[in-house]
Structure 1
Amino acid sequence: MNYFYIVMFLSMWTMGVVLLVFNRKSNFWISLTLMTGGMASFAFSIHLTIVPFLLPRGWLTPTFSSFLYQLSVVAMTVYFYLFPFTACMGALWLGAVRTTKKKALISILLFIPAVLVGGHHLLKEPWASFDISHFRSWAGFYIVLSLVFYGIAFKREKEFYTRKNKKRVGVIFTLGTLFAFVTDFVGFRSLTMGEWSFELKSNGTWKYNVVVVLGLVAVIIFYLVKNGFMGIKLRIEREKRDLSMRALTMGVSILNHSIKNEIQKINYLTEKTEGYIHTGQTNKSLQSIEQIHSVTAHLLDMVGRIKDKADDIVLSETQVGVKDIFTAVLEPMQPLLESRSVRVAVMQEEDGELVCDTMHLKETLSNLVQNAVDAMDPEGGTLTLRTVSAKRYYIIEVTDNGCGIPKEQLGKIFEPFYTTKKNAYNHGLGLPYCVSVMRKHGGRLTLVNAETGRGTTVILHFPIQRFKISSELSVYTPSMPMSRSVNRF
């Protein structure tokens, strides 16, 4: 049975910390009530459980023994002289008085008697001996006042759910403080704590504190799970709701960002197809139409898997040729590259296949190529896709000779919704999405040589286990005509 006293103070202190962590401003005094209320069971635990456990094992040195003894006396002093006051404050700050200034003033005034009574004990009475009759009346005054404050707080509250919450708090803490007052402040006549024994004169009802306190803790936990308590569940649900809204907003923005890129490709391809038709180049127009089909298929695949991009990316892995991925990314973008006068060089030290999510990797590379193109000067530039097989990683590099990235922006470009592009179609989600894709593949994305005016290299690091060698080096260097550029990222 003595072990239950450990459970008592641990459960009360845990509840106090939980309430304090979730809403320190509103729950401060309620948390303090639980913490000070657990001091008595903590003191009894030292005498009845902890010391009897340590003593026969020879772990209780004289210094440690003296420390534990003094600690138990301090805990009992805090309980007798501060618990009634904190219980009263918990009721006051629940809403009995509306303005903070009035609450603070009343708190200071009510703290004075607790200080005087406690100070009298420390100065005039034996340190480890408590005559309950000396402070019983003041304890009763605080407990009665707490009941009044709870009643006022409940009566003043008009909002339905807050009123229900205050009713639960009032009932639980009223029962708890009333029972503690009856058993410990009325039931006790005197307590003298020795090392290691104590002399307690009481009616014995304090032994039932275990059942009542643990029962009240169980009720609090029940309300936490079912209906919420002291705003905790409300806050958790609000945070979940906010997180869901942020995920939804980000998902819609990412989809918008990706759709914008794909529609841009379709516009370029449509213009090219129209030109081919007018000039009678049937074969080239058919090729452009096939490219449009490829873009729309990718777009539909991406829309079908929007949850993966809005919430958590889930990979659907296959083994695909790296050259095929580059072709799938570059061919739909060829009209854009031509219009921007961008030369493209693809250099593979070793051709092979990569175990990856094809859709997400294509989208990642499309984002990086689009960023690189946007960084080019109006006179055009060079975009290089290069692969390297290293000891630990298979690397894909995307390098441009564009405007680069200012140093002051390097720490921000991976943040969601951060963008330097001055138009309504960019949401700053391209790079954060690319980083997420690489992390899901067990790799990482890094930037090198990202200096203003010197271009940028983005490196995708894949675990080497994902790459399977199949053939030899290849180089792909198509030339494209000119166009103007906009800011990167």
Structure 2
Amino acid sequence: MKIIYILMFVSLWSLGLFFLANRTRSTVWIGLTILLGGSASFAFALHLSIIPYIPADWLSPGLSYFLYWLTVAAMHIYFYVLPYVYCMGGLWLNESVTGFVKKVLTLALLPGPWLLMADHWAHEPWNQFEVARFRWWDGLYIAAGSFGYIFAYFKEKSEAARRRQWRIFVLPLAMLWAYTSDYIGFERLELGWWSFRLDSNGMWEANFIMILGTVGFIIFYIARSGFLGIKLRIERERIDYSIRTLTMGVSILNHSIKNEIQKIDYLAEKSRVQLESGQSDKAAHTIAQVHGLTAHLLHMVNRIKDKAEDVVLHEGEHDIRQLIDSVVASAGSLIERRPATITSRYDAEGRLYCDSVHVAETLSNLIRNALDALPASGGGIELHTASTRQEFRITVQDNGAGIPPEHLAKIFEPFFTTKKHALNYGLGLSYCTSVMSKHGGRLSVAASEPGKGTTIVLHFPYARFKPLAPAFKRQADSRTLDQVNPF
């Protein structure tokens, strides 16, 4: 049984460090909560399962004193710091709360743990804990944190995302159990010299069930389909990675050629019809568009190395409006004779330091996917730029068929596709993900509901974006491309 205490803190620390290594702004506090949640198990493991079984002559007095101090510090962290960190996890998980409000609340609530520790040191020996002195103050932090987790779930607008996000309730459940067993169940704890005296209702002895069950639950979903955006991929051995990179490089080239040939074939037929009907000016304009497509295709071919290595960026500053407008114009051939519209809206303008060829190809892939998802009766696609203090975003939103919830975890994987056409290889989103990763950003599905549409966001680090000065902003902020007059 005593080995269980060691397993408890080792599993919590390992999982907490994994979250911190794969952290995002909203999950860093959750990783800290899991990590600090193992502090009590660490203290109990040293007192019950480790030090009693180490021969006395193996530990020097200095080392023994240092380890004892660590256990006392660990209990201070568990009783005073953990509730604050858990509260911050619930706060920062809420995307509906502005960053400014989060920072203000983070600073406003920070003095709480220090005041509780100061009260402890003023009235009690440093190695003794009268839990009644801080029980209800900690309870306020834990209640606020639990409310934050619940609020984040119900404020999620996407039904598909909410179906995935229910897993976060395992954290409030585990914390509420810990509060009941340790903060309410404990009356007094005294850490002696490698012994301790605990007055409690004994509920804490079942903590290993909740802790190991919670860790197992989170690891299961990390490995299976992801937990809070973190997914463990076990299949990344060196040989598999090399083969996948080689295959994907060649397939990306095939994918790009296929897409451009479809456009060229359409434009060639269109120019033939225009010439036969005596519309030579329009035919010349159509043929000029072919030159643009072939130039883009040549760029892509030249950028794939002889051995089909990973995506390589050739970066520079590019006007974001010109970049998006060129992609929208190129997509015009795809929506002619279709009841579809493509709209661009610019809430953020300026210059983006990026590889314009790969970013344009990424946007083209997303537009093609959106067009494939639109119903036969018609629909719309909107490209929208926006920026925050942390990132620059390009959003591609459609009102098409949406992505089935069971496919959301797989859509970015190479060769996964729901399209039955032989020319669809399931590489578009995988390529887009690789491009964004190379830019230090990411690609995310912000929302997707069957029958209502999908919203995909390109996230670029803000350092790559140079906003346009207000005095030089353009008068018009949007452009619409429709099937009647696409150019």
TM-score, scaled to structure 1: 0.49
Between Structure 1 and Structure 2, whose CA radius of gyration is higher?
A: 1
Q: Higher helix proportion, which one? A: 1
